[in-house]
Amino acid sequence: MNLRDIHTPVLLERCIELLAPALQADGAVVVDATLGMGGHSEALLERFPNIRLIGLDRDRDALRIAGERLAPFHERVTLVHTVYDGIADAIADLGMSKVDGILFDLGVSSLQLDEADRGFAYSQDAPLDMRMDQSEGMTAADVLATYGEGDLRRIFERYGEEKLAGRYARAIIAARAQEPLVRSGALVKILHDATPAALQRSGHPAKRVFQALRIEVNAELAAVEAAIPSAMGALGVGGRIVVMSYQSLEDRLVKRVFANAVRSATPPGLPVELAEHAPKFKLLVRGAELASEKERAENPRATPVRLRAAERVRPAL
């Protein structure tokens, strides 16, 4: 299996361009906080022969596959099994206080989407698992079996932004009274049957529910909310962070953290900005960058991406 043929990293050249100024010094350290199949990491190691790379992932299959891909660079690579909100501990455990570059490619990975038996894709019938780390935690089937109607509605509304959340929650409760929901195909049929005919053409009825279940199972938003500030705290002066999000909930969290980081904390009314209150970061892109039409055509998974980036310009006091 040639991973370069089956896995195209999203916004690869743009990520490298943004991180490059921080990775010029010998021994510069970059963290790929969402290692996946290792495409971004491989490119960074090839382009910058003097860097050290730390790769994080909660998915043991991803670590194994990426480890094989990055084997030619093994002397400069350390892989860590952890959720990305463990980034500060992972860096500290390696005896480091600061790093120079950090990359986040959030959401479900190509590996997880492409393995049908993981249950992430609503287009393929599979066990309702959806765990990014299959060694622990509840599955999507567990959520569907144990959550009450109100909790199901809440996660569909909050994490899927689903307008039919109540209708879908009631349909699931009724269906599970007849038999357990353990496969994605059965859930898709329930959602399809519960969707009014007039709305059948406005997108697949399972898309937002599957997103919501995945986020709930993996506590993704809580991890993002903790991980981004933690990662920014681990950057030395001149260090850069690049974050790619694929749905609006994640992107709003990243946007808020970045906005706070570039805002002056000088009290209103003072005639000058106090150095200790000056912004510690500056934004590297205006708003959120999208993939080009060319990249979206060549790599459909780049279609929803939103990229944000920032650089530390002052040390934490």
Task: Name 295's Cβ contacts closer than 8 Å, sequence gap at least 6.
Answer: 10, 11, 302
Side chain identity, residue 45: L
Residue 112's pLDDT is 67
Q: What confidence score (pLDDT) does residue 120 get?
A: 82
Tell me the sheet residues that pair with 292.
none
Residue 147, marked binder: no
Long-range own/partner contacts, residues 135-142 (CB < 8 A, 24 or more apart): 135/60, 137/217, 137/218, 138/217, 139/217, 140/213, 140/214, 140/217, 141/180, 141/181, 141/182
Predicted local confidence at residue 246, as pLDDT: 93
Homologous superfamily, domain 112-218: Putative methyltransferase TM0872, insert domain (1.10.150.170)
The CATH 1.10.150.170 domain(s) of the chain lie at 112-218
Q: What is the DSSP letter of 289?
A: B
Q: What is the pLDDT of residue 4?
A: 56
Output phi, psi for 231, to 5 deg: -65, -45
Residues of the chain with CATH 3.40.50.150: 3-109+220-312
137 is in an annotated binding site: no
Q: Is beta strand 306-312 parallel, antiparallel or unpaired with respect to 235-245? A: antiparallel
Q: Under CATH, domain 3-109+220-312 is a member of which superfamily?
A: Vaccinia Virus protein VP39 (3.40.50.150)
What pLDDT score does 3 carry? 54
Chain center to CA of 149: 28
Could you give the CA distance from residue 96 to residue 98 in angstroms, rounded to a whole number? 6
Known binding residue 40? Answer is yes
The predicted structure's pLDDT at residue 135: 83
In the prediction, which pLDDT does 108 show?
77
What pLDDT is attached to residue 271?
A: 66
Q: How far apart are alpha carbons 231 and 249 in whole angstroms?
A: 19
pLDDT for 273: 66
99 membership: H or E segment, kind and range: strand 99-105
- The reply, when asked if residue 67 is annotated as ligand binding, is no
Q: Is 290 exposed, middle or buried (0-12, 13-18, 19+ CB in 10 A)?
A: middle
Q: Which two tokens stand for residue 65?
A: 């596959």
Residues in the chain where the model's pLDDT stays below 50: none
Annotated binding residue at 112? yes
- Identity of the residue numbered 298: E
